[in-house]
Structure 1
Amino acid sequence: MNRIYLLLIFFIVFKVSAQEVSLKGRITSDGAPVSYGTIILSGTTLGSTTNDKGFYEIKNAPAGNYQLIITCIGYQTQKAPVIIKKGVATVQNIELKADANKLNEVVVTGVSKATLIRENPLAMEAVSTKQIDQSAENNTIDAIAKSAPGLQTVKTGPNVSKPFINGLGYNRVLTLYDGLRVETQQWGDEHGVPMDDYIIERAEVIKGPASLMYGSDAIAGVLSLFPAIPKDTDRLIHGRYLSEYQTNNGLIGNSLSLFYGNPHWAWAIRGSERIARSYTDPIDGRVYNTGFKMYNGSAFLGYHNAQGYSHLNFTIYDNRQGIPDGSRDSLTRKFTYQIYESEGENTLLPQVDNLKDRPIVPQNVLNSYNLSPLSQQIQDYRLYTDNFYHLGLGDIKASLGFEQNVRREYDHPTDPDQAGEYIVLNTIDYGLRYNAPSFLNIEPSIGINGMYQTNTNKDATDFPIPAYHLFDAGGYAYLKWKQDRWTIAGGLRYDHRSEDGDEMYIASDPSTGFFRQVPNGTAGAVQQFPAFSLDFQGVSGSIGTTYQINDELSFKTNIARGYRSPNITEIASNGLDPGAHIVYRGNLGFKPEFSLQEDAGLSGTYPNFSFNVTAFNNYIQNFIYEDQEVDKNGNPVVIIPGNRTLQYQSTNAQLYGADATLNIHPEGWKAFHFDNAFSLVYGYNLNPKYKDAEVNGEYLPFIPPPRWLSSISYAVNTNGKTLPSITIKAENDLNLAQNRYLGLYQTETPTAAYDLVNLSVNGDIHYGKGHSIQCLLAVDNLLNTAYQNHLSRLQYFEYYTASPNGHLGIYNMGRNVVFKVIIPF
């Protein structure tokens, strides 16, 4: 620990004094101010955001020659040379041209320095503050997925959305929060990304292997989330208040953020709450036990000078949400609830649960905000520091963070305070990168990153995974060469991971009948997990190029080798995960996954339209997936009634597909926008025994169907001072049928096509001097269409093979009216 303290002190206090100067100016378009534009000083991490009058200021800018890069959704990216002199304040005003294309946005994920999307060989998407704020989705992950073709979500109700990229998810998608790995038992189905939905300022998505920069778990790509941090340095307290209400499940959300900044120091404190009752759909009515209560808090402290910055952050997340199981009365199809323990529990109670005899849930319970005792609680705590400083002509970036994820799942109706699963995961995440001085148009970087992790089972009765210790380390070298219209970037990486699992024995507690952890040798004890010690290692890398054919058209291609070591549930699981309603079975003999993905893309930006087309092909060795465990007669194995038993398998696999966008924005009709996004992915199990078997084993699970999302928006100019314009948007979300599914042993079922219509109206209400309120009124699923998304786990929560109304499983949310207001101050 002394070493950790020394590192923290070094990262935070290390700085080099320099002459303080500032760069300021105003960003406009046709004479009108451009609000919330991003300004970056190239070659540094210094930047700013324009206020509602278009003004910006960058304090403590080092003297030198730079390019100023200005980006804002709806405008063409502008570059301007700027010379900053010692001790002299520089004024630089910029005029932007309207442009609906977002391919010129600046990104920082997966690269050594801030880079334009069109110059980055990786297939990427950027999602702005505006896109997130104007979304009417159930959570921020869904909002990001709607704006990033190729990103989908596996859902367990409105509060749980796990990111999938091009058909791959769980530990194959690395989620970053402010550059820090999110480590929260990602293998689990029934909980999402622990974060405050109301403070995410922007997001970046890498679609394809990103192991070079991040190591294991980025084999499918990266979802990078950036919380808002203070940008003003005027010594005033600024803030933002957000409130929303959604009619379908009565969601009530509120958030308050306070920011302060001066030329050197900045701080922020933020808090939010979101509560909801069970949602409704046109087939099932109100879906029992899909409500939730979520509370978030965070704090930020930052120091800046001319040579860099040090940031210290703390976040706390507390989410209590229901665990739906889909049990119903066989005739009325009304939801029922459990009152006795499951047959699989070795209890002393005289009665055990019978799915057919459960009582029907009363209507007042369905409509209540009170959660069922059968629920889960997830608490997540982060403390981390992020540091960046110039060292001569190079720079260094260092990060160190601690995260604790506490997960309790309550599944005992006779003892609601007894957790069925109680797991505490502690992770120390570290990273160090040095960007060396450029030479011959080459920007070299070297770095190391990894984590140390421990997992502990606490006072519980179900034990799906063992306690373990994990150490992960990797080093990489990255080069970027840029000249004229060409950019070539790539590098190599080596990773090593050691994982040691603890032996565990369990036995029935004589006083309760529930299973408990006991020492070896205890009467009646059985071994739940053997001790193990495993090592995984791999080499990964990528090489890619972009070529700007002309000022409007650019081409990019990339080939990457990804690496992923098996996660704990794949290698060592042996028990019930109550929230997932799945008994998992692992395999200690699994080898790491290695992928080889090729992708190519063409993008164009023209005065009246813009487009982007990307195609990919991904071959994966030792691909690990879930398969229904069956007996010798091919019948599903049922260890605990009402819960499926899944056995992890390994094979080679191939995924390929494409996504495309076409945005029409006539230069002579600036108020009109016609945007389109299409995504398609196929996944195949290459085991020879499944060749040409199609749904009987050839297709991979969790492959999303083809999707076409189209929207038309029109900005109505009212010529009023209070409400100068209103933007009306109509959206059509078409999801085709998914008939390429893993139907073997009924692991998956086909999903019918559906088409959703959404409407929204948004505008800014101006008041006082330079103040405004952002307002959104939206209707999702306007026609109240009954549908089941192929990536919704709730469609498989069914206990009968036939239904009197012809519908099986739980359907997705019906019509939902959303009201949202955002008040910056």
Structure 2
Amino acid sequence: MKKSFTLFSFLLISISLLAQNSSIKGRVMANGEPLAYASVGVMGTRLGATSNDKGYYEIKNIPPGSIEVGASSIGYQSQKASANLTPGSTITINFILKEITSKLEEIVVTGVTRATEVKKSPIPIATISKKEININVNSNIIDAIVKGVPGVSATTTGPNISKPFIRGLGYNRVLNMYDGIRQEGQQWGDEHGTEVDQYGIDRAEVVKGPASLTYGSDALAGVINMIPAIPKGVDGKLKGDLLTDFHSNNGLIGTSLGISYNKSDWKFYLRGTQKRAHNYQNPVDGWVYGSAYREYNLSGTARVDKTWGFSQISTTLYDNLQEIPDGSRDSLSRKFTKPIREGNEDEIKNRPIVPDNELKTYAIGNLHQAIQHYRVYTHNQFIIGQGNINATFGFQQSRRREFLFPTLPDKAALFLVLNTFNYDVHYNLPTWNGLETTLGVNGMYQTNQNKDATNFPIPDYDLFDVGTFVFTKRTLGKFDVSGGIRYDTRHLTWNDFYTGTNATGFGQKVNAQEPGAYLQFPEFTHQYHGISGSLGATYNLSDQILLKANLARGYRSPNINEVGSNGLDPGAHIRYQGNREFKPEFNFQKDISFLAYLKNLDISVELFDNRISNYIFQARLSDDQGQPIVDDQGNLTYKYQQSKAQLYGGEFTLNLHPESVPWLNFNNSLAYVNGINKNSKLRETYGDAAKYLPFILPLHYRSEIRGTLRKSVGAYTGIYARLELDAYGRQNKIYAVDNTETPTSGYVLFNTGVGTNVKQKSGRVFCQLFFQVNNLFDKAYQSHLNRLKYFEYFQASPNNHRGIYNMGRNFSAKVIIPF
């Protein structure tokens, strides 16, 4: 009886104490407007809330006593407030957040192992927010990143295919990641784009420099991590947004619908997207035949957060029909022509001119790529005392088909299926003596198969990667020091691969015993090894003025095309020749940076010197007369080379945001990189023609002036207008051996745009509007990294223009309706 009474008394006291718990409520504002979906939490606890559409929040069941409350939202400076809660009390705390005009306080995770402020990382890191992605209206996510991050460029094959370069290095040297999962989709190919839903990306993080320490091979130049939206909203209420996008030049119509639902510890998110566009146009070429595309995306996420950590499972489905530009023309009128026959019957100089009705249609022509990319992955974190274990596993499949036969539209010239299993497990140890240390192991297992096709540029292969690393960081007074070391091994193998010709004259896979069998890819097995590491420090002269220095050694094993190719990549119109003897690439990069985030301006100077051993690049082959080696269909032949190389340069930014003129931002950036070919044998043979590396972007200057009204005008809030100048210098520092590259003239583009939010009477945002004009004066230009520049069949042109030009003037309008 006594025990029962004691238990009853204990329960009664507990209930009484719980009833006396306190609560906090209030409102979060910014720029005189309610700030929706801001995070408000009690510091040192898991108690928190999210502001609703009108900026209001409430946190209940807070134990009485002295507490500190913080409010934060992406793009705004965090704010804290202290309070003393008495039992059963309810107090009001309002927050007014200021918009961040610099990126000093943004938290990123790319290239490091724990959440790290930009200012504390010696590794050059840049971020681009959803707001900037929306303002920089483009046809794909990579082009939006190029606009927002100095030092990042892209090689393109029309409006929808962009492959990122970081400081002059691209292809398998830039590791593309989607939500922390490395993107695997035959990225060795020139015309193989990034298979990601641009409308589903919430922000992007860019590491400029070797990031092999945490990711292994293929991060020699850096990392681009595209992070999808995280479910947000009020608990128990369905939220979402509907987006529509239109571009006048190629008639692009994009639609995307995203919905999210939060309930207690669970979050759910689903997004579907469709895009379609016809051929684009410019003042020189008119309508560019073969540049239309159609794309569909579907993605979903379910996540649960508990006291033990969190678990998330996500899936994405990508489907793209992408026409393949051919570039053939009538020699006099320069109008585009199209193939109507196969093989030797196809006379390039006698092809018919493309009818006008086929130049502006959304129907996808017979010559196209069909790409599907499927992915499922899971992120998990388990809290163990003061440390935590993070485990990521994923499976993805890339299916690539290229259809190039006008009389046999269902016959694939290329059909590759790539299966990849990714794994990443790392343990963040408890902080010890100021050291924050991480131990990890990650890698992938990959299989590639050629299916029923007629061309085979690469063999079937198996690949297994594994790497282990240790990374640590510590603050020592004004210094933030970090570094680590990693060891990688890659096993690459394939069996004998025989090809032959069927009764209709098309190529096919055959057995070794079949008559006429040709051993196109003899068996191969090789183990690649590499050690990488980094050491760097940030010196905080003050909270706003920083000096950074970093030394890094990167590692990259040769990709399958570089070591194993021996055939036609039909979509690229290139015959590749690899080299089995290639060694892994290693680089040693030195970075030094000065950053000042001041009251009225931001200044950053980032300089780098990158020395690469065993650098691999492709060079065009020519005959004894100096003419390019081509087959009957005009396909060029490229053979991979290997040499030493050096790249150096830097980025400079100056952003003005005067406090006396709070509505004004004047942003400027300058990026320069020079690539030197250190192959002494080539230099002795070809002289200055072999002095430089290929695919190096010229001097790039970007300037933007943007004005944003701080107060509403009727139903319109956040009204902005912007004018942008995008200038590229002449590039004559080229790899000119066998005309692999040709000089590119400089050019200046002007872009302009306006936008606003439209509010309802209740104060809730009804929609966001973005209007933009790119290439305002319809400038005819060719980017140095535009692959279509080399799509030319004639030695001379009647209008003195060769190859295909970039897009002309383009008006775009985007509407986002949140609900």
- Common topology (TM > 0.5): yes
Quote the offset at 1:71 in angstroms.
5.3
Moved more, 57-66 or 569-578: 57-66
Output the CA distance in 1 between the equivalents of 2:552 and 2:26.
41
Q: CA RMSD in A?
A: 2.8
Q: Which residue of 2 aligns with 1:749?
A: 742
Output the CA distance in 2 between the equivalents of 1:558 and 1:488.
10
Indicate if the aligned counterparts of 2:175 and 2:222 stay in contact, CA closer than 8 A. Answer: yes
Quote the offset at 1:552 in angstroms.
2.1
Quote the offset at 1:54 in angstroms.
4.0
TM-score of the two chains, using structure 2 as the length reference: 0.93
Mark the CA change 1:29 to 1:819 in structure 2 (over 3 Å): closer, same or farther.
closer
Q: Which residue of 2 aligns with 1:318?
A: 319
Q: Which residue of 2 aligns with 1:499?
A: 492
In structure 2, what residue type is equivalent to 1:501?
A: W
Mark the CA change 1:800 to 1:546 in structure 2 (over 3 Å): closer, same or farther.
same
Quote the offset at 1:771 in angstroms.
3.0
Q: Which residue of 1 aligns with 2:570?
A: 578
Output the CA distance in 2 between the equivalents of 1:674 and 1:233.
36
* Partner deviation per Cα, 1:281-315 (whole Å, 9 max, x = no partner): 01000000100000011111111112321111111
Give the 5 Å matches for 1:634-645: 634-645=626-637
Moved more, 320-329 or 605-614: 605-614
Indicate if the aligned counterparts of 2:52 and 2:234 stay in contact, CA closer than 8 A. Answer: no
Output the CA distance in 1 between the equivalents of 2:766 and 2:513.
69
Give the 5 Å matches for 1:186-205: 186-205=187-206
1:672 and 2:674 matched: no
Mark the CA change 1:60 to 1:162 in structure 2 (over 3 Å): closer, same or farther.
farther
Indicate if the aligned counterparts of 1:713 and 1:729 stay in contact, CA closer than 8 A. Answer: yes
In structure 2, what residue type is equivalent to 1:663?
A: N
* Partner deviation per Cα, 1:779-806 (whole Å, 9 max, x = no partner): 1111000000001101010011211111
Output the CA distance in 1 between the equivalents of 2:266 and 2:794.
61
Percent same amino acid at aligned positions?
46
Q: Which residue of 1 aligns with 2:4?
A: none
Of 530, 547, 564, the match for 2:539? 547
Classify the secondary structure of the residue corresponding to 1:164. Answer: strand
Classify the secondary structure of the residue corresponding to 2:172. Answer: helix
Q: Which residue of 2 aligns with 1:254?
A: 255
1:805 and 2:806 matched: no
Mark the CA change 1:518 to 1:22 in structure 2 (over 3 Å): closer, same or farther.
farther
Of 679, 682, 687, the match for 2:674? 682
Q: Which residue of 2 aligns with 1:12?
A: none
Q: Which residue of 2 aligns with 1:558?
A: 550
Q: Which residue of 2 aligns with 1:70?
A: 72
Output the CA distance in 2 between the equivalents of 1:84 and 1:545.
42
1:453 and 2:455 matched: no
Mark the CA change 1:47 to 1:111 in structure 2 (over 3 Å): closer, same or farther.
farther
Quote the offset at 1:48 in angstroms.
8.1
Q: Which residue of 1 aligns with 2:621?
A: 629
Mark the CA change 1:212 to 1:364 in structure 2 (over 3 Å): closer, same or farther.
same
Indicate if the aligned counterparts of 2:757 and 2:765 stay in contact, CA closer than 8 A. Answer: no
In structure 2, what residue type is equivalent to 1:778?
A: Q
Quote the offset at 1:40 in angstroms.
9.2
Output the CA distance in 2 between the equivalents of 1:44 and 1:644.
63
Tell me, which stretches of 5 or more residues in structure 1 are unaligned?
A: 1-18, 344-351
1:383 and 2:376 matched: yes
Q: Which residue of 1 aligns with 2:817?
A: 823
1:525 and 2:509 matched: no
Of 386, 406, 409, the match for 1:416? 409
Indicate if the aligned counterparts of 2:707 and 2:720 stay in contact, CA closer than 8 A. Answer: yes
Classify the secondary structure of the residue corresponding to 1:420. Answer: strand
Moved more, 280-289 or 681-690: 681-690
Indicate if the aligned counterparts of 1:496 and 1:536 stay in contact, CA closer than 8 A. Answer: yes
Quote the offset at 1:26 in angstroms.
4.6
Output the CA distance in 1 between the equivalents of 2:624 and 2:85.
76
Mark the CA change 1:496 to 1:772 in structure 2 (over 3 Å): closer, same or farther.
same
TM-score of the two chains, using structure 1 as the length reference: 0.92
Quote the offset at 1:199 in angstroms.
0.8
Tell me, which stretches of 5 or more residues in structure 2 are unaligned?
A: 1-17
Q: Which residue of 1 aligns with 2:12?
A: none
Q: Which residue of 2 aligns with 1:569?
A: 561
Output the CA distance in 2 between the equivalents of 1:39 and 1:126.
23
Q: Which residue of 1 aligns with 2:720?
A: 727
Mark the CA change 1:415 to 1:618 in structure 2 (over 3 Å): closer, same or farther.
same
Q: Which residue of 2 aligns with 1:587?
A: 579
Indicate if the aligned counterparts of 1:60 and 1:263 stay in contact, CA closer than 8 A. Answer: no
Of 470, 480, 496, the match for 1:477? 470
In structure 2, what residue type is equivalent to 1:707?
A: H
Q: Which residue of 1 aligns with 2:774?
A: 780
Classify the secondary structure of the residue corresponding to 2:412. Answer: coil
Classify the secondary structure of the residue corresponding to 2:628. Answer: coil
Q: Which residue of 2 aligns with 1:404?
A: 397
1:794 and 2:788 matched: yes
Output the CA distance in 2 between the equivalents of 1:384 and 1:676.
39
Give the 5 Å matches for 1:71-90: 72-73=74-75, 75-76=76-77
Indicate if the aligned counterparts of 1:45 and 1:308 stay in contact, CA closer than 8 A. Answer: no
Give the 5 Å matches for 1:79-118: 94-118=95-119
* Partner deviation per Cα, 1:796-821 (whole Å, 9 max, x = no partner): 10011211111001000000000100
Q: How many residues align?
A: 797
In structure 2, what residue type is equivalent to 1:353?
A: D
In structure 1, what residue type is equivalent to 2:393?
A: L
Indicate if the aligned counterparts of 1:42 and 1:69 stay in contact, CA closer than 8 A. Answer: no
Indicate if the aligned counterparts of 1:261 and 1:267 stay in contact, CA closer than 8 A. Answer: yes
Quote the offset at 1:104 in angstroms.
2.2
Structure 1 or 2, whichever has the larger Rg, is 2
Quote the offset at 1:736 in angstroms.
0.8
Q: Which residue of 2 aligns with 1:513?
A: 505
Output the CA distance in 2 between the equivalents of 1:535 and 1:586.
17
Q: Which residue of 2 aligns with 1:347?
A: none
Indicate if the aligned counterparts of 2:40 and 2:69 stay in contact, CA closer than 8 A. Answer: no
Give the 5 Å matches for 1:215-364: 215-343=216-344, 352-364=345-357
Output the CA distance in 2 between the equivalents of 1:500 and 1:55.
59
